[in-house]
Structure 1
Amino acid sequence: MDLQMRVVEAAEQSFRQFGYKGTTMENVARIANVGKGTIYTFFPSKEALLEHILNRLVVEMRAVADGSIVAGDTFFNNLERALRSVLRFRAQHELLVKLAQEGKQLGTVAVIEGMARVEEAVLNYLRKHLEAGVANGDVKPCNTELVAFIMLRTYTAILVDWESRHEPLSDDALMQVFHVVFTEGLNRTQA
Structure 2
Amino acid sequence: MATVDRRQQILDAAARSFSIYGFKATTMDQVAKDAKVGKGTIYTFFADKEELFGAILNEYILEMKAFAEDVLNDQLPFFENLHNVLIAMVNYRESHRLTIQLTHEVKDMGTPAAIDALQKVEIAIVGFIKRAIENAIEKRQIKPCDPEITAFVMLRLYIAFVFEWAETHEKLSNEEIARLFRLYLEDGLAVPPV
Matches within 5 A, 1:16-27: 16-27=19-30
Q: What code does the residue aligned with 1:63 have? A: A
**5+ residue gaps, structure 1:** none
Runs of 4+ in 1 over 3 A off after TM superposition: none
What's the counterpart of residue 138 of structure 1? 141
User: Are residues 1:154 and 2:161 paired?
Assistant: no
Matches within 5 A, 1:12-91: 12-91=15-94
Q: TM-score by structure 1 length?
A: 0.95
Deviations 1:87-145 (A, max 9, x none): 00011001111011112221111111121111111111111110111000001001111
**2 CA distance for matches of 1:75 and 1:128?**
12
Deviations 1:74-93 (A, max 9, x none): 11111111011000001100
What's the counterpart of residue 101 of structure 2? 98
What's the counterpart of residue 108 of structure 1? 111
**2 CA distance for matches of 1:112 and 1:5?**
25
Q: What code does the residue aligned with 1:12 have? A: A
Task: Report if the CA contact (8 A) 2:19-2:101 is conserved.
Answer: yes
**5+ residue gaps, structure 2:** none
Q: RMSD between aligned alpha carbons?
A: 1.5
How many equivalent residue pairs? Answer: 191
User: Are residues 1:123 and 2:126 paired?
Assistant: yes
**2 CA distance for matches of 1:104 and 1:131?**
34
For residue 180 of structure 1, the aligned residue among 157, 160, 183 is 183
Q: Percent identity?
A: 37
